């Protein structure tokens, strides 16, 4: 009998395992990678719990070893999107009225399964599918995903506890209803945890979901589906489809039941989605929730008082981990003239010590970029830079796609603060540095603020408090996640709610109560215990 106000377990961040030589987790991970590589998968779409195989198979390869086949997935079409919407709407009838403690238990169970028996498979799949080294996979597909599930359950109960006051004789209540239709989750390749969370956050709040993962993340996406099933998520609550982006505008966004999109990806795609949704408003039952976390041109600025070794380490980790394919990765740096040479020497030394290759060799710090399209885009930026006379290479500038999509970590120094690669998102291991006159600090902050359309993450390094305060003020709108003496990557759920503004998204802060609020439609209920029986107010007397 559910007749009490239950407390949920207090959320804590999942500890990160080390995978150091000799550790049990390292051995188990290496064995699992070998097992996955020795078998091939045949991945169906999953609609209403049913496996749908169309026979139109697309093969999947690790980005670092394109000759190897991981298996294939079945490609669907517009009919499958309609079936997924129908399956979601059918599941909604029971899921929307499932008691919150049952929804909480399913996602808490998913967290524990992932902390335990599913951890190794999720990490191995992410390493092979997205070319992440063991540490990058662990902090993403294990720890961050676990944290999303645990913290969101806690935030959900905090939201439900938020209730209005009641005057004598009446009782006011707020209900947090799920949205009236389905939520569309459209997810990026770069974080397995983000893909899971974009589906799980609305589902936790009682919504049903149609999920289209990135084509380059489908392999690990299916481990997420397995995890949800094992945790007890009913069929049809989350439906995974593999379709070309081109069918989405005429299916998802033409459905009267479309009630929200949970997107993470590039700014241009998000802008296009928003326009399509806007032009279809009369079709929908209500105004859809549009939540999107998009691109970035994340910065580090060092003040003349900063410590060169601290700045260099933040640059090296912040720009190059996971090949710079984090939305938060540092990609433009402003160094003061008194320290620039020393910092760049340290950066060059570190970058040239990186080992590059397959994540299956645990000594490799840098792995491949995600696919050929991305490889070619980054290579074009390298060639463009070579053709310009206001930029020079500090290190890197080479690339090779004969075995996998490998780009050498590249640092470019420019004399032009508005050089193309100082302003545009490249999304790869490519960093541009501008050296400013050390006494033109405030002017440089103002320049930084205006150089890019994005405002996701940024960092200031300084030992001088006044300069930190100035940066915090001048750069107020330049980043949704602002770091003082720390690299701009590595936000932790529950500690640094994540998201940016301007062209970086709607800033609904993934892994925070703010995000969950977008997936509910609250209803106010006022109940009067003894209603009046005479319309006349005393003043009429
Ligand atoms: P992407 O925009 O290419 O793709 C995202 C999703 O949209 C994928 O599922 C893709 O198949 C789909 N898609 C692509 N074109 C579409 C179209 N025309 N219509 C409908 N759907 C379409 O992004 P990506 O390459 O997977 O991820 C990298 C981008 O994501 C970068 O810009 C990065 O900054 C951003 N990102 C942002 C955050 C954040 O929190 N702000 C986090 C991670 C990634």
Secondary structure, 3-state, 290-308: EEEECCCCEEEEECCCCCH
More confident residue, 2 or 140: 140
Total structural domains in the chain?
2
Walk across the sheet containing 298-302 and list its strands: 391-395, 410-414, 430-436, 330-336, 298-302, 457-461, 481-484
Closest ligand 1 atom, residue 427 Cα: 31
The mean pLDDT value for 113-128 works out to 98
Q: How far is the CA of 190 from the centre of ligand 1 (A)?
A: 9
Expressed as residue numbers, the domain containing 474 is 298-484
For the CA of 268, the nearest atom of ligand 1: 2
| 470 and 438 belong to one structural domain | yes
Q: Is residue 4 part of a domain?
A: no
Using the mean position of ligand 1's atoms as its centre, give its distance from the Cα of residue 269 in Å: 7
Using DSSP's 3-state secondary structure scheme, residue 371 falls into: coil
Could you tell which of 58, 196, 216, 265 is best to mutate to test the pocket of ligand 1, judged by most ligand atoms within 8 Å of the CB? 265
Is 376 a domain residue? yes
Question: 147 with 100, same domain?
Answer: yes
The atom of ligand 1 lying closest to the CA of 189 is: 26
DSSP-assigned beta bridge partners for residue 527: 171
Q: Give the position, in ligand 1's atom list, of the atom nearest the Cα of 212.
A: 9
Same domain membership, residue 520 and residue 390: no
Query: In this predicted model, what pLDDT tens digit does every residue of 419-460 receive, in sequence order?
Result: 999 999 999 999 999 999 999 999 999 999 999 999 999 999
Compute the distance from residue 245 Cα to the ligand 1 centre, in Å.
11
Rounded mean pLDDT, 95-121? 98
Whether 387 has a pLDDT exceeding 90, the answer reads yes
The reply to whether 154 falls in a domain is yes
For residues 345-365, one letter each, b for 16 or more C-beta atoms within 10 angstroms of the residue's C-beta and e for the rest, the string is ebbbebbeebebbbbbebebb
212 φ/ψ angles, rounded to the nearest 5 degrees: -115, 105
| Cα separation, 529 vs 507, whole angstroms | 42
Among 70, 116, 151, which Cα is nearest to 360's?
A: 70
Do residues 344 and 275 share a domain? no
**CA–CA distances in Å: residue 290 to residues 172, 176, 261, 456, 518:** 29, 18, 5, 18, 9
Q: Rounded CA gap, 349 and 524, in Å?
A: 61
Q: Do 261 and 363 belong together in one domain? A: no
pLDDT in tens, 239-293: 999 999 999 999 999 999 999 999 999 999 999 999 999 999 999 999 999 999 9
What DSSP designation does 196 have?
A: H
Residue 11 DSSP class: P
pLDDT band with cut points at 50, 70 and 90 for residue 353: very high
Q: Which residue carries 């500090």 as its tokens?
A: 394
Is 371 a domain residue? yes
Residue 348, in any domain of the structure: yes
Compute the distance from residue 505 Cα to the ligand 1 centre, in Å: 12
pLDDT interval class at 2 (50, 70, 90) = confident
Determine the average pLDDT of the residues in 205-231. 98
Report the CATH number that the domain containing residue 91 is assigned in CATH.
3.40.605.10
How far does the centroid of ligand 1 lie from the alpha carbon of residue 538, in Å? Answer: 63
**Per-residue pLDDT tens digits for 496-511:** 999 999 999 999 999 9
Specify if 131 maps to a domain: yes
Q: Are residues 57 and 100 in the same domain?
A: yes
Instruction: Give the residues across from 51 on adjacent strands.
Output: 46
Q: Which residues pair with 238 in a beta bridge?
A: 209
Same domain, yes or no: 303 and 284: no
Ligand 1 pocket test target in 78, 185, 188, 263 with most atoms within 8 Å of CB = 188
Q: Which two three-digit tokens encode residue 182?
A: 């389905």
Q: What is the mean pLDDT of residues 349-361?
A: 98
Ligand 1 pocket residues where CB is under 6 Å: 186-191, 194, 212-215, 245, 248, 264-266, 269, 272, 293-296, 327, 425, 427, 456, 498, 500, 504-505
Percent of the chain's residues with pLDDT above 70? 100
Q: In the structure encoding, which two tokens stand for residue 255, read together? A: 């459905």
Residue with tokens 């040239």: 352
How far, in Å, is the centroid of ligand 1 from the Cα of 428?
14
Residue 1 reports pLDDT greater than 80? no
Do 380 and 430 have their domain in common?
yes
pLDDT at 95: 98
Cα separation of 295 and 276, whole Å?
19
Would you name the residues annotated as active-site residues?
293, 327
Question: Which ligand 1 atom is at minimum distance from the Cα of 191?
Answer: 43
Q: Judge whether 238 and 211 are in contact, CB under 8 Å.
A: yes
User: Using one digit for the tens of pLDDT, what is the confidence trace for 157-198?
Assistant: 999 999 999 999 999 999 999 999 999 999 999 999 999 999
Q: Is the pLDDT of residue 221 over 90?
A: yes
| Residue ending a domain, choose from 435, 455, 484 | 484
Same structural domain, 355 and 287:
no
Residue 1: both structure tokens together: 């009998």
Residues in the chain: 541
Considering the domain architecture, whether residues 65 and 88 belong to the same structural domain is answered as yes
Q: Can you give the pLDDT at residue 15? A: 98
Per-residue pLDDT tens digits for 404-421: 999 999 999 999 999 999
272 and 141 share one domain: yes
* 480 & 436 share domain: yes
């Amino acid at each position: 009998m559910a007749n009490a106000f239950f407390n949920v377990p207090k959320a804590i961040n999942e500890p990160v395992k080390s995978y150091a030589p000799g550790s049990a987790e390292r051995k188990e991970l290496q064995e699992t990678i070998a097992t996955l590589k020795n078998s091939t998968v045949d991945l169906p779409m999953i609609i209403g719990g049913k496996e749908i195989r169309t026979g139109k198979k697309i093969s999947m390869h690790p980005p670092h070893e394109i000759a190897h086949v991981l298996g294939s997935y079945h490609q669907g079409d517009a009919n499958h999107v309609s079936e997924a919407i129908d399956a979601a709407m059918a599941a909604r009838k029971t899921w929307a009225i499932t008691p919150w403690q049952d929804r909480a238990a399913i996602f808490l169970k998913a967290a524990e399964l992932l902390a335990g028996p599913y951890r190794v498979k999720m990490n191995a799949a992410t390493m092979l599918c997205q070319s992440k080294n063991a540490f990058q996979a662990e902090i993403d597909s294990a720890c961050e995903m676990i944290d999303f599930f645990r913290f969101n359950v806690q935030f959900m109960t905090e939201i439900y506890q938020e209730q209005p006051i009641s005057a004598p004789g009446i009782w006011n209540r707020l209900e947090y209803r799920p949205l009236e239709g389905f939520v569309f989750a459209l997810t990026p390749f770069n974080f397995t945890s983000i893909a899971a969370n974009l589906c799980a956050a609305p589902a936790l709040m009682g919504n049903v979901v149609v999920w289209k993962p990135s084509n380059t993340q489908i392999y690990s996406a299916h481990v997420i589906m397995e995890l949800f099933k094992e945790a007890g998520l009913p069929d049809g609550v989350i439906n995974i489809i593999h379709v070309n982006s081109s069918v989405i505008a005429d299916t998802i966004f033409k459905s009267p039941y479309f009630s929200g999109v949970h997107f993470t990806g590039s700014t241009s795609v998000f802008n296009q989605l928003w326009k399509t949704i806007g032009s279809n408003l009369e079709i929908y039952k209500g105004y859809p929730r549009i939540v999107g976390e998009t691109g970035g041109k994340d910065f580090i600025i060092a003040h003349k008082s900063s410590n060169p070794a601290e700045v260099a380490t933040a640059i090296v980790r912040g720009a190059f981990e996971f090949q710079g394919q984090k939305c938060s990765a540092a990609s433009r740096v402003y160094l003061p003239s008194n320290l620039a040479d020393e910092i760049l020497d340290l950066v060059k030394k570190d970058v040239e010590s990186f080992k590059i290759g397959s994540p299956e060799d645990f000594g490799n710090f840098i792995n491949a970029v995600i696919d050929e399209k991305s490889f070619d885009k980054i290579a074009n930026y390298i060639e463009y830079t070579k053709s310009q006379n206001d930029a020079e290479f500090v290190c890197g500038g080479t690339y090779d796609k004969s075995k996998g999509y490998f780009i050498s970590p590249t640092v470019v120094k420019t004399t032009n603060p508005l050089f193309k690669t100082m302003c545009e998102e490249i999304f790869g291991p490519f960093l541009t540095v501008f050296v400013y006159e050390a006494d033109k600090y405030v002017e440089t902050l103002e320049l930084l603020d205006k150089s890019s359309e994005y405002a996701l993450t940024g960092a200031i390094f300084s030992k001088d408090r006044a300069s930190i305060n100035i940066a915090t003020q001048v750069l107020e709108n330049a980043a949704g996640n602002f770091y003082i003496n720390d690299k701009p990557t590595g936000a932790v759920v529950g500690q640094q709610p994540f998201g940016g503004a301007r062209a970086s998204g709607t800033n609904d802060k993934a892994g925070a109560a703010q995000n969950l609020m977008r997936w509910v439609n609250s209803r106010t209920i006022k109940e009067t215990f003894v209603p009046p029986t005479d319309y006349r107010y005393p003043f009429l007397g």
